[in-house]
Structure 1
Amino acid sequence: MEIASFLIVFFMVRYIRTSLQTAVRFPEWDRMLVMAQYAGMGLLIADVFIDADFIKWLWHFILIAMVGAAYLLKDFRPVRNVWLAVGPYILISLFNDIVELISKDFYNSIDDAIAIAQVFALVWLVATWISGQKQQKALEKERLKRQQEEEQNRIIASQNVMLEQIVAERTAELTRQKEELEQTLSELKTTQDQLIQREKMASLGELTAGIAHEIQNPLNFVNNFSEVSVELIEELRDERKKEERDVELEEEILNDIAQNLQKITHHGKRADSIVKGMLQHSRASTHEREPTDLNALADEYLRLAYHGLRASDKSFNASLVTDFDPNLGLISVVPQDMGRVLLNLFTNAFYATEQKRKTGLAGFQPTVKVGTRQLGNDEIEIRVRDNGCGIPQAVLNKIYQPFFTTKPTGQGTGLGLSLSYDIVTKGHAGELAVETAEGEFTEFIIRLPT
């Protein structure tokens, strides 16, 4: 009986400590349970050496105290079902000892029944213990599962917080980068506007020498015819002072003066048109289309570009070939913008022929040709061809990119062809194509809808 009681105490203590994790949660109760375990061991040893009845009552006291604690104490509620397992055995053992104490005869008469009842109580205890262990394992498994879910939820919540923080930081970073990009874009647009203005002023500078040369010719005619007209007027006055006036001579002088005035008017208008063209080129484009004589526009800018280059390099000389379609008529374009396109193409053509001339190629004669023609009823074409050094195939697909240039540093901004391409394609819904053979020629083709 004492061994059975010790085993019950041992397993009850182990069960309670394991189930409740008293070492962590209830250290005070854990110490008491350990003491109860040691007390049971001490009673078991004492029972071997001491033959005293009070020892069995101490066993009853320990068992009842542990079952009562498991049942009554709030902290032990999760394991209160332990009394269902050990309760029958404790009650039968207690009843057995009480009956033996009170009536020995009655005890002897029921001794066999009590022994059988104790066996069944032990069987019940084992069965209940096994069932409890299974339930405990199931509960422990459920607890671990719940704990894992809670841990996963905690990790997910932590990750969500971290992700939200990362998203917030990334959003702030993207916002900052967006603001920086917008600022950079604004600065780039400002810089681009400045570079476009510089390119326009650079082309205006290239025009200056050509304009000076072109405007000098009509001014010389105006001055010469004015001087001749003054002489003719003096001659007419002298003739009128004579007593015998020659009416036919006076009429002839008047006709000469009239012709001179007509020539003065013609060359004055020519000078005026050159000045107006220069002003149109220098001021900002209004992007308003006007009916324009492209033949005259191309011819004028060709000569201006040529004389501008000759003003800076007296050794340069080139043949200018024009092939204009007389039936071209007036084409609706923005004259300032189209003038800039032609000036860029002519300047590049003269530059290419000059570079080829400097190679010392025997018999080479720089030639720039410009021609126009009507393509059907809805399109016209302008071709600008030079027999210069051509464009290498390796850079052919880059020539319309902003800031790309094959000229040495300081001789080009790389915006001429880019701006020309935008003016033709975006401003006039046309096409700017190029045909070239390296070392032989380059020909730019402008096609515009009429």
Structure 2
Amino acid sequence: MEIASFLIVFFMVRYIRTSLQTAERFPEWERILVIVQYAASGLLAADIFLDSSITKWLWHLMLLGMVGAAYLLKDFRPVRNVWLAVGPYILISLFSDVAKLINDDFYESISTVVEIAEVFALVWLVATWVSTQRQQKALEKERLKRLQEEEQSRIIASQNVMLEQIVAERTAELTRQKEELEQTLTELKATQDQLIQREKMASLGELTAGIAHEIQNPLNFVNNFSEVSVELIEELKEERKKENRDVELEEEILTDITQNLQKITHHGKRADSIVKGMLQHSRTNTHQQEPTDLNLLADEYLRLAYHGLRANDKSFNATLIMDFDEHLGKVTVVPQDLGRVLLNLFTNAFYATEEKRKTGLAGYQPTVQVSTKRIAGDKIEIRVRDNGCGIPQSVLTKIYQPFFTTKPTGQGTGLGLSLSYDIVTKGHGGELTVDTEEGEFTEFVIQLPG
């Protein structure tokens, strides 16, 4: 029993000194624990050389003192689990010695149970000790890990200071570059806006030329019928001055004047619609969609584009083929935007046929065909086809890129198809595709939600 008690005291002291690091943190307890180790060694020597029953009670006292200190003292709270390890063995040993002291017969009756309990207590002590050691190793590992993390944090903090200085310098440089880039971007946007406006004005110029020709017809009718109406009124006045007035003649004259005024009103409204179309085309896009007759819109812009080209080149002539779906109905679009798309496609088609005509190809007749129809899936399709020079396959993938053009310098901004593509796809949620064969034809297909 004395050897076991000595070993328990020795390892308890060692465990407490190691766990609490008493040499660094609690020097006063370190001295006391060293004294306890020496006292345990002296008590073991006394047990060996002196045959005295007093030593076993001193062992009990020392063990209870160690456990009590570990359980009660504030500084020893982290090692309270030592009580769980050695407590059962100490209590059983103390109970055994007390039972022997009180009554030997009683002790003899329970000695077997006490011995078994001591064995289990020793097994419990060893198991708890092994578990505690593992926990200590895990805690020590965690402590070392924290120390490493703290060291890494310190290194990172010092590096962060250096990096902050570098970042501050780079930020100042990037700020300067950002300001320069913003200035450059502002200038590029201004240039882009000017080019887009130029493209709009170019299409407006083509539209105006067509309108000038198209509006001349209703104006001629208005002028002619106005002159005839003035002559009829003068004739009516003269008839009324006569003594024998011809009432039937007066009624015929009044009927003619009424018909002339109706024709003047009709052609005046026609001229008014043409002017309104021009204003819609030229105004800033408001993105306001409205139900629109696409057949009428395509017919009007086809004629305006054709007459606009003829206004610049009297020798140009082309066959216009229109195949419109009579059951198309009105489609909700932005009419001035879609009109700009159609005008651009028609102008490009006439340009392609004119370039092919200039090659002097025998028997060639420039032809531009436009068709509309409702297709499966509740979609509207507009096709613009010409029998011009076609688009080379080498540039086909670039035709929607901003500022790309196959026309000679000064004859195109390269924004027409780019703007048209954006209007159809982004503005109306549709598709704009092309099918072409160089030297034979080009066909643009617009598909819009119905």
Q: Which bracket does the TM-score occupy, shorter chain normalised?
A: 0.5 to 0.7
Asked if 1:414 corresponds to 2:439, the answer is no
Matches of 1:259 and 1:292 in 2, distance apart? 31
Asked if 1:296 corresponds to 2:296, the answer is yes
Q: Within 5 A, what are the aligned runs for 1:121-136?
A: none
Cα deviation, 1:136-184, whole Å, max 9, x if unaligned, reads xxxxxxxxxxxxxxxxxxx999987765554443333333333333333
Name the counterpart of 2:227: 227
Name the counterpart of 1:237: 237
In the TM superposition, what is the alpha-carbon distance from 1:238 to its structure 2 partner?
2.5
Q: Within 5 A, what are the aligned runs for 1:99-118?
A: none
In the TM superposition, what is the alpha-carbon distance from 1:263 to its structure 2 partner?
0.8
Name the counterpart of 1:184: 184
Matches of 1:353 and 1:301 in 2, distance apart? 17
Report the AA paired with residue 300 of structure 2.
Answer: E
Asked if 1:309 corresponds to 2:304, the answer is no
Name the counterpart of 2:114: none
User: In the comparison of the two structures, how many residue pairs are matched?
Assistant: 299
Q: Which runs of 5+ in 1 are unaligned?
A: 1-154
RMSD of aligned alpha carbons: 2.4
Report the AA paired with residue 299 of structure 1.
Answer: D
In the TM superposition, what is the alpha-carbon distance from 1:364 to its structure 2 partner?
0.5
Q: Which runs of 5+ in 2 are unaligned?
A: 1-154
Structure with greater Cα Rg: 1
Name the counterpart of 1:4: none
Q: Classify 1:378/1:186 alpha carbon distance in 2 versus 1 (closer, same or farther; 3 Å).
A: farther
Asked if 1:366 corresponds to 2:379, the answer is no
Name the counterpart of 1:438: 438
TM-score for both structures, normalised by structure 1: 0.63
Name the counterpart of 1:344: 344
Give SS of 1:232's match: helix
TM-score for both structures, normalised by structure 2: 0.63
Matches of 1:332 and 1:187 in 2, distance apart? 37
Asked if 1:203 corresponds to 2:215, the answer is no
Give SS of 1:401's match: coil
Matches of 2:159 and 2:333 in 1, distance apart? 63
Matches of 1:180 and 1:295 in 2, distance apart? 50
Matches of 2:249 and 2:381 in 1, distance apart? 53
Cα deviation, 1:333-365, whole Å, max 9, x if unaligned, reads 111111111111111111100110111111111
Q: Classify 1:158/1:303 alpha carbon distance in 2 versus 1 (closer, same or farther; 3 Å).
A: same
Give SS of 2:373's match: strand
Matches of 1:383 and 1:274 in 2, distance apart? 24
In the TM superposition, what is the alpha-carbon distance from 1:377 to its structure 2 partner?
6.5
Matches of 1:224 and 1:377 in 2, distance apart? 50
Matches of 1:169 and 1:357 in 2, distance apart? 64
Name the counterpart of 1:380: 380
Matches of 1:326 and 1:296 in 2, distance apart? 11
The answer to which of 256-265 and 407-416 deviates more is: 256-265
Matches of 1:411 and 1:364 in 2, distance apart? 24
Report the AA paired with residue 404 of structure 2.
Answer: F
Cα deviation, 1:395-420, whole Å, max 9, x if unaligned, reads 11110000000001110000000001
Name the counterpart of 2:260: 260
Matches of 1:174 and 1:277 in 2, distance apart? 50
Asked if 1:276 corresponds to 2:276, the answer is yes
In the TM superposition, what is the alpha-carbon distance from 1:288 to its structure 2 partner?
0.7
Matches of 2:286 and 2:157 in 1, distance apart? 62
Cα deviation, 1:92-136, whole Å, max 9, x if unaligned, reads xxxxxxxxxxxxxxxxxxxxxxxxxxxxxxxxxxxxxxxxxxxxx
Cα deviation, 1:65-110, whole Å, max 9, x if unaligned, reads xxxxxxxxxxxxxxxxxxxxxxxxxxxxxxxxxxxxxxxxxxxxxx
